[in-house]
Amino acid sequence: MIRRFVLSMAVALSLFAFCIVAAWAQGASALKTRMTVPASSDIDQSASIQALVAKSGKNDWSSMKAASLEGFVRQVEKDSDGDVVIFLAGKADDTDTKNWVVAEVPPGWQGKSQDLTEKSLRGLLLKHVKVTGWLFYDANPGEDPSRGTPWEVHPVTSITRLQ
């Protein structure tokens, strides 16, 4: 009888944990695919590439806030989910990936502006840009030890070449 109770409790706890993880994943997905442009009051004025790298803890920033980051496009990749991933550095010659911040443009945003298409974004390689979008904490960024911070701009809602 006790074994059956313990087994039932173990199954119930496992199902509960699964539901929590599934709800978190669904919530994270909803944050990454937001289709609203941040208002100026949504922008965290203290956010910068250097600040995101320096303060990279889960509670250091808010996924309910946005950022406008100035930096240099060091790399552009297409992710398996269709996102275009932009790697931003604070300095043009910074090759240390631990100093970079990831900014991602999901497919929904790629279709909203010519500036956000994969082709246009690839044309910004090594250019000075301003990226605006929502802050997002990627709790599992592919377990990539070369990343300086799990904080991203995801989704990017606009990008402007500065030079």
pLDDT tens-digit series, residues 78-120: 999 999 999 999 999 999 999 999 999 999 999 999 999 999 9
Residue 30's pLDDT is 74
3-class secondary structure, 10: helix
* CA dihedral angle for residue 15, residue 18, residue 19, residue 25, rounded to 10 degrees: -170
Q: Which among 27, 23, 17 is positioned nearest to 136, based on CA atoms?
A: 27
Q: Residue 21 above 70 pLDDT? A: no
Residue 14 belongs to a domain? no
- Whole-number Å distance between alpha carbons of 133 and 157: 5
3-class secondary structure, 33: coil
Higher pLDDT, 24 or 119: 119
Amino acid letter at 133?
Answer: G
Buried b (16+ CB within 10 A) or exposed e, 54-77: eebeeeebebebbbbbebbbbebe
CATH code of the domain containing 156: 2.40.50.140
In the numeric block, the tokens 């840009």 are attached to 129
Residue 50 belongs to a domain? yes
Q: How many domains does the chain have?
A: 1
> Can you give the residue range of the structural domain that contains 89?
40-161
Residue 90 belongs to a domain? yes
Residue 50 CA, chain-centre distance (Å), reads 16
Amino acid letter at 92?
Answer: A
Residue 17's pLDDT is 45
The percent of residues in the chain predicted with pLDDT above 90, rounded, is 71
The structure's pTM equals 0.80
Residue 105 CA, chain-centre distance (Å), reads 9
Residue 47 belongs to a domain? yes
Question: How far is CA 54 from each of CA 2, 60, 94, 100, rounded to the nearest angstrom?
Answer: 51, 10, 16, 11
Q: Which among 121, 122, 67, 77 is positioned nearest to 97, based on CA atoms?
A: 77
Rg from Cα positions in the chain:
19
Residue 3 belongs to a domain? no
pLDDT-based confidence at residue 18 (cuts at 50, 70, 90): very low
Residue 87 belongs to a domain? yes
Residue 19's pLDDT is 39
Residue 146's pLDDT is 81
Residue 118 belongs to a domain? yes
Tens digits of per-residue pLDDT, 135-153?
999 877 656 678 889 999 9
Q: What is the DSSP letter of 5?
A: H
Residue 11 belongs to a domain? no
